[in-house]
Amino acid sequence: SKQMLPKVEAYHKRKLSDKFFCVYLDATYLPLRRETFEREAVYIAIGIKPNGHKEVIDYCIAPSENIEVWTEMLQNMKSRGLKQVELFLSDGVVGMKAALTRTYPKAHFQRCLVHVMRNICAKVRVDDREKIMNEFKQVHQQTNKEEATAVLHDFYTKWGKVYSHVIRSLKDIEPDLLVFYNYPKQIRASIYSTNMIESFNNVIKRKAKPKAEYP
């Protein structure tokens, strides 16, 4: 640990590239030992540069996930040279869009549709889940934004009476659901969800599994 500390500090202070096409934000939990042993949140930002190169921009550790830590991390990234981001992707952390708007006012924001689907699943009857999921998946399988909007509004109409609270929540975040349609068809599959960073997090967990806790 003592040998690693200078490398970790240098990593967190290194100059960042000034431009990324998109940045994925997500947190995963790992067992850490301080005075006591707890699972703590590891906040991770992964970026894709305009040339397609992927990079872990930064990470930080806190007891749990909250928007204050995300805000501090975003401001730190900007102060270290990351001036321009075209698109941010994250799950539904409360306050994330506002934090991004304050730090990167010109960036666009796409909410992870996979997380949206999981949230819907948790709020509907078990008998309806498969049908609702298959219908909602159609939202990201259309040719263009207009068709996707029509599918989404049909979804509202069909399920609005039975699950009014679910549909109300969807309408509140609708501006953040279809942003990926503004980009070329070839890359849409990789920018409507945070799957890319979640698969990265799974690698971390696999590597971390043999060890009970980390200092």
Question: Do 176 and 127 belong to one domain?
Answer: yes
In a domain, 175, yes or no: yes
Question: Do 45 and 89 belong to one domain?
Answer: yes
pLDDT per residue, tens digit, the chain (215 aa), is 889 999 999 999 999 999 999 999 999 988 888 777 788 999 999 999 999 999 999 999 998 899 999 999 999 999 999 999 999 999 989 999 999 999 999 999 999 999 999 999 999 999 999 999 999 999 999 999 999 999 999 999 999 999 999 999 999 999 999 999 999 999 999 999 998 898 898 888 888 887 777 77
In a domain, 176, yes or no: yes
What total of structural domains would you count in the chain?
2
Give the three-class secondary structure for 194: coil
Question: Do 106 and 150 belong to one domain?
Answer: no
Using the CB atoms, write b or e for 185-196: b if 16+ within 10 Å.
Answer: eeeeeebbbbeb
The pLDDT value recorded for residue 35 is 75
The pLDDT value recorded for residue 31 is 86
Structure tokens at 82: 């990351």
Measured distance between the N- and C-terminal CA atoms of the chain, rounded to whole angstroms: 8
Question: Do 13 and 106 belong to one domain?
Answer: yes
Q: HEC string of 68-124?
A: HHHHHHHHHHHHCCCCEEEEEEECCCCCHHHHHHHHCCCCEEEECHHHHHHHHHHHC
Give residue 7's identity as a one-letter amino acid code.
K
The pLDDT value recorded for residue 121 is 94
In a domain, 119, yes or no: yes
The parent domain of residue 43 ranges over 5-112+194-208
In a domain, 213, yes or no: no
In a domain, 16, yes or no: yes
The pLDDT value recorded for residue 44 is 96
In a domain, 67, yes or no: yes
Closest to 79 measured CA to CA, from 104, 113, 114, 50: 104
- Can you give the CATH number for the domain in which 82 is found? 3.30.420
Helix (H) or strand (E) holding 56: strand 54-62
Question: Do 96 and 16 belong to one domain?
Answer: yes
The pLDDT value recorded for residue 36 is 76
Give the other-Cβ count within 10 Å of 204's Cβ: 14
Give residue 100's identity as a one-letter amino acid code.
L
Instruction: Give pLDDT tens digits for 41-63.
Output: 999 999 999 999 999 999 999 98
Give the other-Cβ count within 10 Å of 110's Cβ: 23
